[in-house]
Structure 1
């Protein structure tokens, strides 16, 4: 049965407006990043009078963007790897084994998502400073401390999501592997993990995107040597001027890894987010 013409036209109009709403800011960013600073600072024009790629060259010298980029890559990559590895073991244990406190653990993991992240800022700051004073381990202002900080809010969601996905993987696969002589760990890596690749990819993308664009904790827990991209973009704004064209150019450059990763892994991400919902 064909849809009514009114519904078809309504859908087209709605999707057109939604597309324009999404693409309009992107167009403003791209056009502003290709304008000289004088044109960006003056009255805004939809069609640029002149185009230049100079902002994409100057962004690397105005602030140490390469260092910020490397810091973000190290922190986000390490947080993603740690989150995925720990979440796989924890979710597999909850999904496949019965132990005392299992329900309490599951509820606790899920309940951490109810609290806003800013509530953990001051406690983590005090913990890191006290650990540094007592042991000499510099967590505050270091990449390691920032990685641990990101694990506090990416790991609970990763565990909760993988529990649902592992529950959707038939237990018969585990039992068949055990019958064939595999141990629990070998069954996990040889059977369960390959079947759960979409869910693991979804968790990895979530953890990476969370760490890559986070601003609040990075602005407090880092210094000049460990500053990440999301905080480093503030360097394009000085007391005398704001380099709007470089801000737009740097924002586009910063977005490339996340957008590229999302497009490459989109198929796995969608499958991982939906598969665990139906059993």
Structure 2
């Protein structure tokens, strides 16, 4: 069936408009990061009059960006790793066995994705406060508290997505592995995980990206500057007396590099995992 001329025009116009929505803001960010602060404050211009790389140098001294960067890496990597490991075991159990409470468990996991994160903010804060009082383990204002917090919304989605992906892997593979002398854990490690690599990569990228850009919980649960993540630390470029717009743009581009590089390196597995998850 051939496309009509109207459909072709509509498709082209839609692609151009969506591309402009992506390219134009990115172009403004890049050009603003290459302008002196005075030029950024003046009337907007599409082309910089004076190009400078000074903002990319100053971003590291104006605020402790390296510390914020390290905090984000530690929190996101640990939260993603724990979420992925727990999700693999939980989703494999849900996919391969029928046990009492299975339906309740899967329904509860899925229902957590229906509520906005702000509803969990106050309960988590009160829970952390009580735990700190009872055990003297600080959870508010520490990276440990953020890691636990990020698990509350990355883990349910990871379980739900991996369970659907494991359902698409034939059970005959598990049975063949057990015939060769492997137990359930051996079948998971030697057969299921290699077959589920695209889904695992997709879940890992999702968890890392979600934690990397999270603002709401980090703004409440990080009370000390040396514990702030990048999403909160970028706000420090705005003070009561000045706003370093060019440095904000430069820092935003710099902190986006890890996500962009990760996505480009794992793009094929990420798209394959999302496609398979959507089909299932």
Common fold by TM > 0.5: yes
Kept in 2: contact 1:132–1:139 (CA 8 A): yes
Instruction: Tell me, in whole angstroms, the C-alpha distance in 2 between the residues paired with 1:165 and 1:6.
Output: 39
3-state SS in 1 of match to 2:226: coil
Q: Return the TM-score normalized by structure 2.
A: 0.97
How far does residue 198 in structure 1 lie from its aligned partner after superposition?
A: 0.6
Instruction: Tell me, in whole angstroms, the C-alpha distance in 1 between the residues paired with 2:123 and 2:146.
Output: 14
3-state SS in 2 of match to 1:99: coil
Kept in 2: contact 1:236–1:243 (CA 8 A): yes
Kept in 2: contact 1:167–1:276 (CA 8 A): no
Query: RMSD over aligned Cα, in angstroms?
Result: 1.0
How far does residue 273 in structure 1 lie from its aligned partner after superposition?
A: 1.1
3-state SS in 2 of match to 1:234: helix
Instruction: Tell me, in whole angstroms, the C-alpha distance in 1 between the residues paired with 2:196 and 2:101.
Output: 25
Deviates more, 1:133-142 or 1:55-64: 133-142
* Structure 1 partner of 2:42: 42
Kept in 2: contact 1:75–1:146 (CA 8 A): yes
Matched, 1:55 2:64: no
* Structure 1 partner of 2:273: 272
Instruction: Tell me, in whole angstroms, the C-alpha distance in 1 between the residues paired with 2:61 and 2:48.
Output: 25
Matched, 1:122 2:103: no
Deviates more, 1:263-272 or 1:145-154: 263-272
Kept in 2: contact 1:166–1:276 (CA 8 A): no
Matched, 1:145 2:149: no
5+ residue gaps, structure 2: none
Kept in 2: contact 1:177–1:187 (CA 8 A): yes
Kept in 2: contact 1:168–1:276 (CA 8 A): no
Instruction: Tell me, in whole angstroms, the C-alpha distance in 1 between the residues paired with 2:2 and 2:50.
Output: 49
How far does residue 132 in structure 1 lie from its aligned partner after superposition?
A: 1.2
5+ residue gaps, structure 1: none
Instruction: Tell me, in whole angstroms, the C-alpha distance in 2 between the residues paired with 1:277 and 1:118.
Output: 27
Q: How many residues align?
A: 279
Deviates more, 1:164-173 or 1:260-269: 260-269
How far does residue 11 in structure 1 lie from its aligned partner after superposition?
A: 1.8
Instruction: Tell me, in whole angstroms, the C-alpha distance in 2 between the residues paired with 1:35 and 1:94.
Output: 54
